[in-house]
């Protein structure tokens, strides 16, 4: 059945009325829950403050969380202007109450710009309205900004509630004005002054392509770690044992370029320190990297973030747990795990002993004239066991492969008694290294190098080494 033209017009009319009603409702809710029908609303972009940073002297901010004053940093401004190729730049501002702290220059500048260049998206004239500022949150403002300018003028901005469906805007009013505006306000204006603190905790490696760890001490629930450069300066020791250079360099880069996720609070009380686990930190790391020293104290973990304090600053930061594995690291994390540092090609003889059984391996090394060049010599090797030349070197080389691939899995402790196996390696230069293996359990073997315990290794890894050795007969 076809609808009549008259029915179509009726339906269109209903839709039009409904659409007008929706628009009217949205416009009303966007302005204010307390605005009267007689209030006049403008939607044209409006300039509330248009002074420019160069004319701004200071901003006094008061809110429910804090009070602080933005002021010009004359020395920083002069430095910025002198380094500028054009010879001029915007003035640099700082927070008077945060003198001595490193600040987030971007956040400070954004707050300063709110006090000299502020535009509104809407204006609401309440001069003829009956409700005044009711419903806008301006009777008891959430924050006030008092601006002072070089030309002697001043202005005070009252900051109220949040308009519906607008997270970044606030109702604002210039003191003495009958107009309420909707304008974007920086979060810092409504928060604690701690928001202006720089989250860059260390910046020790940005100007250098290399990192030098002069000293590092880490204490946590797992262990105590002391990292020092070797006497030659080309490596590191970890608790007196050889360190893994690459892992320690990576740790140095990490600690030397550390940024917090956020600033939690300033001047914590004893109770607050306790609540964040910083009255008795779970980890403390002190380090000197590229000539600069710092100490990190680590507290509780919550929402994948650690509470952190640096040096003597009375500030609690939040550090992302990702990329901060050092917090719970053990000494093994940064140790050289392979105990056998001597290379097979540099070993003239190897003597292995077990309960009276002796395996004397010797190597004759000769220059391979066919493969050698003036710049590079290659060698041919002949291997002997107890004076008898080996018909095949496969088993001996297989032993060396498994021998050099041994890795410790634990710190190890003092040993006594007779070792299960003793390996004496003599280099072509006459140097000797003695490796002794002590059975400490059915699962663990302790290895000592020249009488000093290096660590524990799994017997399941040591057994194939012995099997390869004894198969050389």
pLDDT tens for 417-436 read 999 999 999 999 999 999 99
In the predicted model, what is the mean pLDDT of residues 82-110? 87
Domain boundary among 284, 310, 334: 334
Does 460 reside within a domain?
yes
**What is the share, in percent, of the chain residues with pLDDT greater than 70?**
88
Residue 165 pLDDT greater than 50, yes or no = yes
Q: What is the pLDDT at residue 187? A: 86
Residue 253 pLDDT greater than 50, yes or no = yes
Residue 37 pLDDT greater than 50, yes or no = no
pLDDT tens for 297-315 read 999 999 999 999 999 899 9
Q: Are residues 164 and 44 in the same domain?
A: yes
135-172: burial string, b at 16+ Cβ within 10 Å, e else: bbbbeebbbbbbbbbeeeeebebbbbebbeeeeebbbb
Q: Are residues 46 and 188 in the same domain?
A: yes
Q: Are residues 302 and 401 in the same domain?
A: no
Domain boundary among 167, 196, 225: 196
Give the least confident one: 106-115, 122-131, 270-279, 384-393: 122-131
* Of 1 and 219, more confident: 219
- Cα-trace Rg, the chain: 37
Residue 167 pLDDT greater than 80, yes or no = no
Q: Are residues 49 and 186 in the same domain?
A: yes
Q: What is the pLDDT at residue 41? A: 52
Q: What is the pLDDT at residue 211? A: 85
Does 280 reside within a domain?
yes
Of the pLDDT bands very low, low, confident and very high (cuts 50, 70, 90), residue 378 is confident
Model pTM?
Answer: 0.79
Does 13 reside within a domain?
no
Of the pLDDT bands very low, low, confident and very high (cuts 50, 70, 90), residue 11 is very low
Does 155 reside within a domain?
yes
Q: Are residues 433 and 299 in the same domain?
A: no
- Contact between residue 172 and residue 164 where contact means Cβ atoms under 8 Å apart: no
For residue 286, give the nearest of 274, 297, 275, 276 by alpha carbon. 297
Does 7 reside within a domain?
no
Integer Cα distance of 161 and 172 in angstroms: 8
Does 25 reside within a domain?
no
Among 120-124, 178-182, 444-448, top mean pLDDT goes to 444-448
Q: Are residues 306 and 368 in the same domain?
A: no
The whole domain housing 58 covers 40-196
Residue 15 pLDDT greater than 60, yes or no = no
Q: Are residues 265 and 306 in the same domain?
A: yes
Q: Kindly report the three-state secondary structure assignment for every residue of the chain.
A: CCCCHHHHHHHHHHHHHHHHHHHHHHHHHHHCCCCCCCCEEECCCEEEEECCHHHEEEEEEEECCCEEEEEECHHHHHHHHHHCCCCCCCCCEEEHHHCCCCECHHHHHHHHHHCCEEEEEEEEECCCCCCCCCCCCCCCCCEEEEEEECCCCEEEEEECCCCCCCCCEEEEEECCCCEEEEEECCHHHHCCHHHHECCECCCCCCCCCCCCEEEEEEECCCCEEEEEECCCCCCEEECCEEECHHHHHHHHHHHHCCECCEEEEECCCHHHHHHCCCCCCCEEEEEEECCEEEEEEEEEEECCEEEEEECCCCEEEEEECCCCHHHHCCHHHHECCCCCCCCHHHEEEEEEEECCEEEEEEEEEEECCCCCCCCCCCEEEEEEECCEECCCCHHHHHHHHHHHCCCCCECCCCCCCCCCEEEEEEECCCCEEEEEEEECCCCEEEEEECCEEEEEEEHHHHHHHHHHHHCCC
pLDDT tens for 320-336 read 999 899 999 999 999 99
Q: What is the pLDDT at residue 131? A: 59
Of the pLDDT bands very low, low, confident and very high (cuts 50, 70, 90), residue 18 is very low
Of the pLDDT bands very low, low, confident and very high (cuts 50, 70, 90), residue 295 is very high
Residue 31 pLDDT greater than 50, yes or no = no
* Structural domains in the chain (count): 3
Does 1 reside within a domain?
no
Q: Are residues 180 and 255 in the same domain?
A: no
Q: Are residues 260 and 387 in the same domain?
A: no
Residue 280 pLDDT greater than 90, yes or no = yes
* Beta strands 262-266; 315-320: pairing state: antiparallel
Q: What is the pLDDT at residue 368? A: 80
The length of the chain in residues reads: 473
Q: Are residues 187 and 61 in the same domain?
A: yes
Does 443 reside within a domain?
yes
Q: What is the pLDDT at residue 428? A: 93
Domain boundary among 196, 223, 243: 196
Q: What is the pLDDT at residue 28? A: 37
Q: Are residues 160 and 218 in the same domain?
A: no
Q: Are residues 152 and 179 in the same domain?
A: yes
Q: What is the pLDDT at residue 44? A: 67
């Amino acid at each position: 059945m076809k609808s009549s033209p008259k029915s179509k017009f009726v339906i269109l009319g209903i839709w039009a009325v409904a659409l007008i009603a929706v628009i009217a409702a949205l416009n009303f809710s966007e302005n204010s829950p307390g605005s009267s029908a007689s209030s006049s609303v403008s939607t044209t972009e409006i300039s509330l403050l248009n002074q420019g940073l160069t004319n701004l002297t200071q901003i006094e901010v008061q809110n429910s969380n804090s009070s602080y004053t933005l002021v010009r940093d004359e020395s920083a401004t002069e430095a910025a202007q002198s380094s500028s190729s054009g010879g001029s730049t915007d003035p640099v501002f700082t927070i008077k109450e945060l003198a001595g702290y490193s600040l987030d220059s971007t956040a400070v500048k954004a707050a300063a710009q709110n006090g000299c260049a502020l535009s509104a998206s809407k204006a609401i004239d309440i001069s003829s309205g009956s409700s005044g500022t009711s419903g806008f949150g301006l009777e008891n403002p959430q924050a006030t900004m008092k601006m002072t300018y070089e030309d002697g003028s001043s202005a005070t901005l009252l900051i109220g509630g949040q308009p519906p469906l607008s997270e970044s805007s606030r109702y604002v009013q210039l003191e003495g004005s009958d107009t309420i505006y909707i304008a974007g306000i920086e979060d810092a204006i409504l928060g604690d002054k701690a928001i202006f603190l720089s989250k860059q905790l260390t910046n020790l490696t940005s100007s250098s392509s290399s990192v030098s760890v002069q000293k590092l001490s880490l204490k946590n629930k797992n262990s105590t770690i002391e990292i020092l450069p070797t006497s030659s300066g080309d490596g590191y020791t970890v608790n007196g044992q050889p360190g893994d250079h690459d892992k320690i360099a990576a740790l140095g880069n990490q600690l030397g370029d550390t940024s917090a996720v956020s600033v939690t609070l300033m001047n914590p009380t004893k109770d607050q320190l306790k609540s964040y686990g910083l009255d008795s930190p779970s980890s403390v790391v002190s380090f000197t990297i590229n000539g600069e020293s710092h100490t990190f104290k680590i507290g509780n973990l919550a929402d994948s973030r650690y509470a952190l304090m640096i040096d003597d600053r009375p500030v609690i930061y939040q550090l992302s747990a990702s990329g901060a594995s050092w917090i719970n690291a053990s000494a093994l994390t940064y140790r050289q795990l392979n105990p056998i540092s001597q290379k097979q090609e540099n070993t003239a003889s190897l003597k292995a002993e077990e309960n009276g059984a002796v395996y004397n391996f010797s190597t004759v090394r000769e220059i391979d004239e066919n493969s050698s060049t003036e710049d590079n010599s290659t060698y041919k090797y002949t291997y002997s066991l107890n004076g008898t030349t080996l018909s095949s070197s496969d088993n001996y080389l297989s032993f060396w492969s498994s021998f050099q691939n041994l890795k410790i899995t634990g710190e190890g402790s003092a040993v006594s008694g007779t070792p299960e196996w003793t390996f004496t390696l003599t280099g072509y230069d006459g140097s000797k290294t003695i490796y002794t293996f002590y059975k400490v359990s059915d699962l663990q073997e302790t290895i000592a190098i020249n009488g000093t315990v290096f660590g524990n290794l799994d017997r399941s890894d040591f057994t194939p080494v012995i099997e390869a050795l004894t198969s050389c007969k």
